[in-house]
C-alpha cells in the first residue's frame, strides 16, 4: 500500500553545542522518508536545484525511497541554516534560502497517484490541496503546517482541514491556529474544523493523539545524549505513517501503536546529526525501542477496588 510524502528537500547547515553541519541532507520530506523507509517503502515528491549533490539522492534511494517524484530544476536548492541554544530547547533560524523551492508545484507521478497513505509536509496549503486533487482515493491523509501559513493563509488552511484525516502539528502551532493556549481545548477546536484526529507534537514532552472521545499520550524517549533535534517531528510523522501503511489498519488502537513507532523514530533522529542515524538503524533496533516505550509507561495497579493498607484514611477517622 503506497505511502506518499510531499515536502521540502533541503541542504541544512545546523550548529548545536556538539558540532555543526554544512549543506547536509535535510528537509521535511527527507526526515520523513528516511525514518519511514525503515518500516515501509516511501514515495517522495519534491524539488532540488542543479547544485544538489547526487550522493544525497543515492543515500535516499539506498534506503528504499522512491525518488520518481523528485524534480531537478535549474537554480539553487532550498537551504536552511539554524543554531540551537546550549540546552537545545531554543532554535534560531539564521537563514532560509528558498531557491527552486519557491516555485515548487507538486506534480504527482501517475504511479504514485494510487497511494493509500499520504503525508502533506509543511508547504503552502494551496499546494497541499493541489496534491489532494492528484491522488485517487487515499485511505488516510495526514498533514503538517507551520506558523507562517497559519497567519498568512489561514482561510486556505481551514479549507484544507475539511479534506484531511489527521492534522499533525507542534503545540505552538496548535495554539496559534486555535487561538487557545490550552492544548486539549486547542485539539478539540481543530477537530471541530474537519480532521478526525489531531496529533500534537510536544518535543521532549512527547506527543498526543486526540479524537473526539479519546486522548492518548506517548512520552519522548528518555535519551541521555541528544545531538541535533532537527527533523524529529518529521521523523515522528514518517514512523507514524509508515507503521500505519505497513499494517494497513487505521483503527484508533493501531494509531496508538503508530504513535509509539513515531516517537521511536523521533528519538533516533536526534541521536546523530541530520539523518545520519537512519543510515544504520535496523528494524530490530526500532522494535527494541518500541518495547522500551512499553516498559517506560507500564505499571500494575493494586487490586482494583482494594487499595489495601493505604485504605481510605477518612473512613479510618485519621
Ligand atoms: P523541524 O526540526 O521539524 O522544524 O524540521 C526541520 C527541517 O525542516 C529542516 O530539515 C529544514 O530543511 C526544513 N525546513 C525549515 N524551514 C522550512 C520551510 N519554511 N519549509 C519547508 N521546510 C523547512
Ligand 1 atom at shortest distance from the alpha carbon of 121? 21
What are residue 97's DSSP bridge partners? 79
Q: Which three cell numbers stand for residue 308?
A: 489495601
8 lines ligand 1 (CB under 6 A): yes
Please give the grid coordinates belonging to residue 165: 484525516
Per-residue pLDDT at 274: 95
**Whole-number CA gyration radius for the chain:** 20
Least confident range from 16-25, 267-276, 294-303: namely 294-303
Residue 102: its pLDDT value, please? 96
Contact 10, 77 (CB under 8 A): yes
Ligand 1 center from residue 29 Cα (angstroms): 9
Residue 182 has pLDDT above 60, yes or no: yes
- Angle, CA of 248, 139 and 242, to the nearest 5°: 45
Cβ(170) to ligand 1 under 6 A? no
Identify the pLDDT of residue 19: 92
What is the best residue among 91, 100, 230, 238 to mutate for testing ligand 1's pocket, by most ligand atoms within 8 Å of CB?
A: 230
Give the per-residue pLDDT at 309.
60
pLDDT band at 306; cut points 50, 70, 90: low
**Could you tell me the three cell numbers for 220?**
519522548
Whether the CB of 27 sits within 6 Å of ligand 1: yes
Give the separation between CA 87 and CA 228, rounded to whole angstroms.
Answer: 11
What integer pLDDT is reported at residue 302 of this predicted model?
A: 82
Backbone angles phi, psi at 240, to 5 degrees: -60, -55
Residue-wise pLDDT tens digits, 126-140: 999 999 999 999 999
User: Residue range 218-232: average pLDDT?
Assistant: 95
Mean pLDDT for the chain overall: 95
Q: Is the CB of 230 under 6 A from ligand 1?
A: yes
CA of 216 to the centre of ligand 1 (A): 26
The residue whose grid cell reads 522500551 is: 292
Confidence bin at 304 (pLDDT 50/70/90): low
pLDDT higher than threshold 60 for residue 316: no
> Which one, of 57, 48, 46, 39, lies nearest residue 3 by Cα?
39
Pocket test for ligand 1, best of 5, 10, 200 (most atoms within 8 A of CB): 10
- 178/38 Cα distance (integer angstroms): 34
The protein residue whose alpha carbon is closest to atom 11 in ligand 1 is 27
The answer to whether residue 214 scores a pLDDT higher than 80 is yes
Residue 165 reports pLDDT greater than 60: yes
- The answer, yes or no, to whether any atom of ligand 1 lies below 6 A from the CB of 46, is no
- The pLDDT of 243-264, averaged and rounded, is 97
Q: What is d(CA 72, CA 74) in angstroms, rounded to the nearest whole number? A: 7
Instruction: Give pLDDT, residue 5.
Output: 98
Q: From the CA of 95, how far away is ligand 1's center (Å)? A: 11
Q: pTM of whole model > 0.85?
A: yes
Which residue is listed with cell 525511497?
A: 65
Report the length, in residues, of the chain. Answer: 318
Amino acid at each position: 500500500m503506497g505511502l506518499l510524502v510531499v515536502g521540502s528537500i533541503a541542504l541544512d547547515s545546523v550548529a548545536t553545542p556538539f558540532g555543526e553541519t554544512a549543506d547536509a541532507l535535510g528537509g521535511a520530506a527527507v526526515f520523513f522518508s528516511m525514518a519511514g523507509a525503515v518500516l515501509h517503502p516511501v514515495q517522495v515528491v519534491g524539488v532540488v536545484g542543479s547544485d544538489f549533490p547526487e550522493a544525497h539522492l543515492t543515500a535516499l534511494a539506498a534506503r528504499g525511497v522512491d525518488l520518481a517524484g523528485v524534480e531537478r530544476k535549474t537554480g539553487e536548492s532550498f537551504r536552511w541554516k539554524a543554531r540551537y541554544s546550549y540546552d537545545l530547547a531554543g532554535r534560531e533560524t539564521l537563514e532560509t534560502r528558498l531557491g527552486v523551492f519557491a516555485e515548487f508545484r507538486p506534480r504527482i507521478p501517475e504511479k504514485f497517484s494510487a497511494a493509500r497513505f499520504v503525508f502533506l509536509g509543511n508547504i503552502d496549503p494551496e499546494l497541499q490541496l493541489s496534491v489532494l486533487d492528484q491522488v485517487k482515493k487515499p485511505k488516510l491523509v495526514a498533514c503538517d503546517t507551520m506558523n507562517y501559513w497559519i497567519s498568512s493563509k489561514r482561510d486556505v488552511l481551514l479549507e484544507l482541514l475539511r479534506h484531511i484525516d489527521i492534522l499533525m502539528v507542534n503545540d505552538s502551532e496548535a495554539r496559534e491556529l486555535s487561538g487557545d493556549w490550552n492544548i486539549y481545548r486547542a485539539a478539540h477546536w481543530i477537530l471541530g474544523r474537519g480532521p478526525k484526529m489531531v496529533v500534537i507534537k510536544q518535543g521532549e514532552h512527547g506527543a498526543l493523539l486526540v479524537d473526539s472521545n479519546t486522548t492518548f499520550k506517548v512520552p519522548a524517549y528518555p535519551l541521555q545524549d541528544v545531538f541535533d533535534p532537527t527533523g524529529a517531528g518529521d521523523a515522528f510523522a514518517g514512523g507514524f505513517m509508515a507503521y500505519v501503511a505497513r499494517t494497513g489498519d487505521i483503527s484508533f488502537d493501531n494509531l496508538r501503536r503508530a504513535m509509539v513507532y513515531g516517537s521511536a523514530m523521533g528519538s533516533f533522529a536526534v541521536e546523530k546529526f541530520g539523518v545520519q542515524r537512519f543510515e544504520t538503524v535496523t528494524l530490530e533496533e526500532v522494535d527494541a525501542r518500541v518495547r522500551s516505550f512499553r516498559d517506560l509507561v507500564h505499571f500494575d495497579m493494586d487490586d482494583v477496588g482494594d487499595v489495601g493498607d493505604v485504605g481510605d484514611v477518612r473512613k479510618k477517622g485519621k
